[in-house]
Structure 1
Amino acid sequence: MNVLLSAAFVLCWSSGFIGAKLGAGSASAVTILMWRFVPLAVALSLLAAVRTSWRGLALRDAARQAAIGVLSQTGYLLTVYYAIQLGVSSGTTALIDGVQPLVAGALAGPLLHQYVSRRQWLGLCIGLSGVVVVTRADAAAGDGVVWWAYAMPFLGMLSLVAATFLEGRSRTRVAPTVALTTHCLTSAGVFTALAMSTGDARPPAEITFWASIAWLILLSTFGGYGLYWIILRRSGVTKVNTLMFLMAPVTAVWGALMFGEPFGPQTVLGLVAGLAAVAVVHRGEPSSPRDRDRGQQATRVEESRAA
């Protein structure tokens, strides 16, 4: 089950970069994002009205989920979409976003008090090396793209990392449907306000625009975003973010096939490094949470003795 969830998560999350590229030719980033989240907010609000999972949700927990939505959706998506609008390829955007696992892994210990093993650090470093190689090659081939455009996905990555740790520090478990609804309602409000203030609220009539909206709602939001939080709660910060190393090569292959974006030896090297990173981190992974806890406690004892 974990393997199937991981594979589905990688494909669905990668689809977000492709969907953004698909819609970039017909509308601005805020227009795409507004019309991606307004239908979602309406549908999820109607669903929430007939469900009982909202009962007992404290105001503080609702505010925390709204803040998580601002970071994980508004901040993350706006920077990524804007980078693609500026001309950064979908593959390059995903590659820059691939720095996230190292940042999350480095902060997991001091912020969440989660144990990060030596094997996990080795996998993170292997994945990072592949990301660096491919990112440098793709950035060098980005003719006509302003240099600061490559900083946009990096800022988005930091926003998603912040959302991940804000969720991880929460002591209250909020139902996934409640969290997703709160996030989408918050994002719909922010993106609508931005689109209306810039005069970009009116959607274009092109079929490609509405195809990208349907793509992003079904694959990216329900698929990628939903699976992100599910796997995060099942496996922890370090392991779910290690899967992010696969986003870059998968998106690069997808972009090459769908949009004719460059795909060279460096991308292949990044793919190999990403696969190796995931294999190293997940090798010998315990099958149950109790086994994982026992394994982590045993490793702590061994390392304390060695010290």
Structure 2
Amino acid sequence: MTNQVDRPPPVTADSPGRLDALVRPLFVVLWSSAFIAAVFGTAAVPPLLLTFSRFAVAGVLLTAIALVSRSRWPRGRLLAHVVVTGLLMQAVQFGAFYLAIARGLPGGVVALVQGLNPVVIALLAGPVLGERITRAQWLGFGVGGAGVALAVIDQIHVSASGIVLCFVGLLGLGLGTVYQKRFAMGADLRSSTAVHFLAAAPVVGVASLLLETPRVGDWGAFGASLAWIVLVNSVGTFLLLNMMLRRQSAAGVGALFFLTPSVTALLAWLINGQTLDPVTILGLLLGGVGVLLAGRKA
């Protein structure tokens, strides 16, 4: 009887390594495309109306997904915490970001400000969650802050109010993330995300009625951008993110978000013909390096 030597299975297109190599860049491109779709959408309809439409349709779709998968729905105090998280992470974040884009701020700059979320979380996590900030993170805060300052100062002539709105959206995202980590970690991801959208939709809808004149200037552009934002950005990237989190480390997945500002700027140039000044490009690069350093652990 001869001894048989175990041999590793051949690498195919379906192997985990090859699949991860395909999914990671696909996720970055699809996530970055949300800012480009928002540019087309806010040109067709008022920004808060677009935000409301996104939340309403995505909420219904994710509710159906949660029901079909028999997800456990949050109740009682947990439900209240999930609602607060949704208002911060969805209504405040995207309402402010879409308003900033509607005021002419480039998608790459908005993506760069959103990319500072790990910095905001680290600053808030210290007093709220008791987490320690490392020297590398403090260095990242300095480099990233310098990059954002360059990118933002260079865009003040475009929209000063848009820059303020960007940081309002960033604050909503950062506060919502820390609040969720502190109070709502026990909620099912699918059902809680559906609650996020369903809670944020009426709030943004009322704001749209009070602050805007609801109108659709281009139904084709509105329908196409809404379909992309809902199906690709709200559902598709959500499924890809969950798949990657099951197969890879959270830190490895989180590092992908450091690429979104530059990829967004590239997509804006290719699709919208939107160019950036050299100072803004330098700010994007420095901001990416800073956020990458800030996201490192001890």
User: If the length of structure 2 is used for normalisation, what is the TM-score?
Assistant: 0.78
Partner of 2:7: none
Alpha-carbon shift at residue 162 of structure 1 (Å): 0.6
Question: Does the Cα contact within 8 Å between 2:54 and 2:226 map onto a contact in 1?
Answer: yes
Alpha-carbon shift at residue 105 of structure 1 (Å): 1.9
Alpha-carbon shift at residue 246 of structure 1 (Å): 3.3
Q: How many pairs does the alignment contain?
A: 277
Out of 25, 38, 42, which is 2:60 matched to?
42
Out of 134, 141, 155, which is 2:151 matched to?
134
- Residue by residue over 1:218-243, the C-alpha shift from the partner in whole angstroms, topping out at 9 and shown as x without a partner, is 23222456777886x9637xx94x65
> What are the within-5 Å matches in structure 2 for residues 278-297 of structure 1?
280=293
Q: Does 1:101 align with 2:101?
A: no
- Mapped to 2, the partners of 1:275 and 1:92 lie a distance apart of 11
- Residue by residue over 1:114-158, the C-alpha shift from the partner in whole angstroms, topping out at 9 and shown as x without a partner, is 233222332343333222222222334x2xx4x223201111110
Alpha-carbon shift at residue 199 of structure 1 (Å): 7.1
Question: Does the Cα contact within 8 Å between 2:86 and 2:195 map onto a contact in 1?
Answer: yes
Partner of 1:83: 100
Secondary structure of 1:251 counterpart: helix
Question: What are structure 1's unaligned runs of at least 5 residues?
Answer: 284-295, 300-307
Question: Does the Cα contact within 8 Å between 1:192 and 1:201 map onto a contact in 2?
Answer: no
Partner of 1:235: 250
- Mapped to 2, the partners of 1:120 and 1:109 lie a distance apart of 12
> What are the within-5 Å matches in structure 2 for residues 69-218 of structure 1?
69-140=86-157, 142=158, 145=159, 147-170=160-183, 172-196=185-209, 200=213, 203=216, 206-218=219-231
Question: Does the Cα contact within 8 Å between 1:180 and 1:226 map onto a contact in 2?
Answer: no
Change (3 A) 1:278 1:166: closer
Secondary structure of 1:180 counterpart: helix
Secondary structure of 1:169 counterpart: helix
Question: What are structure 2's unaligned runs of at least 5 residues?
Answer: 1-16
Partner of 1:27: 45
CA RMSD in angstroms, aligned pairs only: 3.3
Which has the larger displacement, 216-225 or 37-46?
216-225
Q: Does 1:273 align with 2:291?
A: no
Secondary structure of 1:246 counterpart: helix
Partner of 2:70: 52
Alpha-carbon shift at residue 275 of structure 1 (Å): 4.9
Which has the larger displacement, 104-113 or 188-197?
188-197
- Mapped to 2, the partners of 1:226 and 1:60 lie a distance apart of 27
* Percent identity over paired residues: 29
User: If the length of structure 1 is used for normalisation, what is the TM-score?
Assistant: 0.76
Question: Does the Cα contact within 8 Å between 2:60 and 2:194 map onto a contact in 1?
Answer: no
Which has the larger displacement, 200-209 or 1-10?
1-10
Question: Does the Cα contact within 8 Å between 2:42 and 2:102 map onto a contact in 1?
Answer: yes
